[in-house]
A and B are shown apart, each in its own frame.
Chain A
Amino acid sequence: MNTRPPKWADKFLVWYCNPDLLEEIQGDAHELYFERVTNCGKTVADWRYIWDVIRFCRWSNVRRSDDEFRPGYFAVLWSLNFKIAFRNAFRNKLVFSVKMLGLSVCLAFAFVVSAFVIHEFTYDNFHRAHDRLFRVGSKVEIAGSATSYAVSPLSLADGIMEEIPEAENACRIMYTGRPVFTIEDKVFSSEVTLAASSDFAKIFSFDFVSGSKDALEEPNKIIVTESTAAKFFGDADPLQQMIDLPWTQLEVAAVIKDVPANSHLKFDALISWNTFDFYDGWDNLNAYTYVALKPGAEKDDFLSKITKLLLDHQDEIEGNREFAPGDKIKISPIVESITDIHLSEYRDEDIAEKRSKTNIYILIIVVILFFATGLINFLNLSLAEQTTNFRRIGILQVFGGASADHGKLILTNILITVFIIGPLTTLMIYASLIAAESYFSLYIDKNVFTSMPFILVAGAFVLAFIFSTRINLFILSRSNDIINALKGKFNSRQNGFQVRELLVATQLSFSIIMIAIIVIIVDQFQFMNSVDRGFDDKNTIVIKMRGGSFSDAETFQESLRKLSGVKKVDGSSFYLDNIETKELFEVETAEGRKKMLVAYMNCGYEYLDAIGIKITKGRNFNKDHGKDNFGAYIINESAAKEFGWKDPVGRKIWGPLGTDRDEGEVIGVIRDFNFASLHNEIEPLIIFPIAEGWGIEYVYVKVNPIRPSNFISQIEAEYKKAYSNFPMEWEYLDSKYKSLYKEDYEIKEIFQVGLVISIFVSCLGIFSISAFLVIARAKEMGIRKVIGAHPLHLFALHMKRFIKFIFISFLIASPAIYYLSQHWLSNFAYHIELTAWYFIAPALITLVIVLITSGYHGIKNSRVNPVDILKYE
């Protein structure tokens, strides 16, 4: 026979058809073809063959699957899997809900914390050119001591553009504080404002809503963020509106979107650089310089060139410092990538939002702990649940259930879990984000949840989840257990159980770690509160002064002194984290006069009394001593130590150099007080009285605990009399002190929530495990009781296991506690010491919790009636 079906149709059939089905399909098609050739002729046969091939092209023939011709039981069981799973869920409502709730609580917490961590790590990633944006700070060495500043000379940006070819753009920014804006008759003074040069928009990618990108080129222009615009002008179009500053008038030239939460620069308005008349010298170290390198340019090339650039201008940098001609001032650049600024070490005069890296790493560990806790709890409970389902698995196996069918079983479990966990977790994440914003003022950009790292984290977790469920089933499908299960033997010595013991111990150890860290954090906070700061921050109001003359401030203070409820009032340049500015002083040492860079503050005569700083040697400033005004210094104990003075009173100090102060004498020594947070060591400090020409920056008002309820408004009224233009800015000193520890409080809050969740989840785990134990060992208990065991004995037997858990978990937890707490405590210059109790106490707490949770079943266990159990045999 020479006739053949069309070749291409045949090939097509071979291509799509499942090889297992090909022979019979092709055979039948060919048989029909040859029959038709003889009956109806070749053309008709060809066409009908093609038609057959097309009709055979169905999913059931295409699909490569091997179960098509197996007996149908598995298909049926597979469809029943869902039914069985749901039935189990309904039968063990408690275990099921515990399982789902535990997993989703852990997941939600871990996801929120990881979103926070990712948020912290992706600072400034939204700038399009973020990988080639750098900030140039400066390391200044004077008289042998080096200080890192975030700022650099004002001329640097121009210098870079002129002399370094690698730079594409450079811009400079100056922090102009919170100026007083007047719009018609409304006054605003809480907007953080920066002065920025015209290249700002070319370097940073803040989105413009309206107005031109060249807005900053002309003087007297201002760019505001959307929310600031809404605050200033309401619904009116902000463009071309006029805003008054005390000394000039600004025109709104553009509106930008609010600064993203993950920007290290936080501002509400930008004023064009040329509006101000800044002194442009190389010795004016006050600008934040940002550089965009050309694509492909090397950072190292840039670094060496900028180092040279600064060396070239050495003369100008030293230029105006004629008061210290002999000193070498060396400035070297600190070039850091814009994405690193948020997590890098602290630099002086930085306006960037900073966070310590250690805390972030601790949080990463928390995330991992919680993913693991959730997973372990879930695995544990499903192990326990499935062990009771051994018989069903046994039957499946007998019917030839190979791995593929177990795969389906797993898939059903995963699907059901995902269907319930997914929405539940999303809901919890959403709720906790709202809670985080409203209670802890932690803002997380919602975009984080769709960012690549977050998807990776979530994906990794899903993988871990799937993988671990596989392990779970692998343990369960051991043939020995199956045979035993079918025989009706069901004992607690099964392999699954040992794995479970280890899992529970790990989970418990996480709880121990959380408890220990929380205890350490709380203790550290208590330590910080109890430690003698050297001054009294209670009942103290701090009022920020805005310019104004010295005598105005004096009158204002005088008027406050007359108010009832006021104890003491005086001014100072000191404000908690404000003493960063150091000046050159000359001090008398054993080797003669020596120049030193020392922190300083000036204050009124009553100030030290007002905030309770104690004088240990010598005396306080006194108005009656005519010389005090310009000839007296008070130093702190650290300074005395630093200068090598055994008996400081009467020693000579000159400075700050270059001011109207010259020679003076130390009249007293104060106790060291923490003028910054306990994160930092107490530094040497020189205090001298405020005088005309120095201005008063802050007025401190010490008040009676019992004071009129309208006290603040009384002060405000006085303030209005003195400075009619400005709204009064004030704060309680103790709340300001707390705000220095904002980051630590955040960590504490995260750990507190984590602690509750972790204890909750392990309680769930322990509870259900002990429930399982009771079932598993019921027969044993029955026999023991028949033989004559005392209920108390049975109770102890039940509890023994859990005490073993605690012991194992204590061993797992201890190194972790040590490592984590050492890291966290190293953030503080003054911190508590770790003792053995920090390890033992959490274990004991966990023990109590475990005993309570498992005790319910322990009692049940001991009261078992042997007749009920043993009569089955």
Chain B
Amino acid sequence: MVTKGNYLGEFEELVLLSVASLVDDAYGVSIMQYIEQEAGRKVNISAVHEVLKRLQRKGYLKSKMGGATQERGGRRKRFFLLTVSGKKTLEDAMKLKLQLYKQVPDFSLKLT
């Protein structure tokens, strides 16, 4: 499996951030709903799953199965957690964005 380097895609970053902020409750549906609620963006659940898998392969996320549940027919949830390298990548990405953002002169923003 070939991965496209270590940088994050836009949606990947969004999912990664959601996982980070949901802390202990990050699983497929909750992540999807969080994104919908915070970013106002409707995404299909399968797309979220896909990205989660990809992030895990890149080593930014780790996962474990939760306990049995009452809803969803007793099926377990897979909870996702940030790995150290995931956290670092996220920090790097944020830092880079902030750094670039800070260099934008004020007037150029006002023009828009």
Contacts and interface: CB of A to CB of B under 8 A. Distances in A.
B104 interface: no
Contacts of B2: 79
A474 B77 CA distance: 40
Given A31-B71, A34-B71, A75-B57, A55 B44 contact: yes
B87 interface: no
A398 to B, nearest CB: 17
Interface in A1-38: 23-32, 34
Contacts of B84: none
B47 interface: yes
A55 to B, nearest CB: 4
A405 B86 CA distance: 25
Interface stretch (A66-74, A371-379, A822-830): A66-74
A72 B3 contact: yes
Interface string A460-488: 00000000000000000000000000000
A61 B49 CA distance: 9
Contacts, number: 77
A373 B71 CA distance: 66
Nearest to B85: A72
Contacts of A72: 3, 57-59
Interface centre among B57, B59, B72 (most CB of A within 10 A): B72
Contacts of A78: 1
A75 B3 CA distance: 9
B47 A75 contact: no
B45 A27 contact: no
B50 A24 contact: no
A78 B57 CA distance: 13
Contacts of B28: 24-25, 27-28
28 contacts: A23-B75, A23-B76, A23-B78, A24-B75, A25-B49, A26-B73, A27-B75, A28-B28, A28-B29, A28-B45, A28-B49, A28-B72, A28-B77, A30-B72, A30-B73, A31-B29, A32-B29, A34-B72, A52-B44, A55-B47, A58-B46, A60-B50, A68-B57, A72-B3, A72-B57, A72-B58, A75-B1, A75-B3
Interface string B34-68: 00000000001111011001001111000101000
A32 B59 CA distance: 28
A412 to B, nearest CB: 14
Given A24-B28, A55-B45, A58-B46, 4 more contacts: A27-B73, A27-B75, A34-B72, A72-B58
Q: Which 3 A-B pairs have the closest CB atoms?
A: A27-B75, A28-B28, A55-B46
A622 B74 CA distance: 121
Interface residues of A, number: 27
A56 B46 contact: yes
Interface of A: 23-32, 34, 51-52, 55-56, 58, 60-61, 67-69, 71-72, 75-76, 78-79
Interface centre among A23, A27, A34, A69 (most CB of B within 10 A): A27
A691 B74 CA distance: 115
B46 A24 contact: no
Interface string B3-27: 1000000000000000000000001
B103 interface: no
The interface size bin for chain B is 20 to 34
A60 B55 CA distance: 13
B112 interface: no
Contacts of A30: 72-73, 75
B46 A27 contact: no
Given A24-B77, A71-B59, A79-B1, A29 B53 contact: no
A27 B50 CA distance: 15
B49 A69 contact: no
B69 interface: yes
A72 B5 CA distance: 12
A60 B53 contact: yes
B1 A27 contact: no
Contacts of A68: 53, 56-57
Contacts of B77: 24, 27-28
Nearest to B77: A27
B59 A52 contact: no
Contact of A27 (B44, B57, B58, B69): B69
A27 B47 contact: no
B76 A24 contact: yes
A27 B72 contact: yes
Contacts of B63: 69
A815 B39 CA distance: 83
B30 to A, nearest CB: 9
A27 B67 CA distance: 12
Contacts of A69: 56, 63
A58 B45 CA distance: 13
Contacts of B49: 24-25, 28, 56, 61
Contacts of B58: 72
Contacts of A26: 73, 75
Contacts of A71: 59
A58 B50 contact: yes
A404 B109 CA distance: 54
A60 B69 CA distance: 26
A606 to B, nearest CB: 88
A286 to B, nearest CB: 75
A27 B3 contact: no
B107 to A, nearest CB: 44
A758 B57 CA distance: 49
Contacts of A79: 1-3
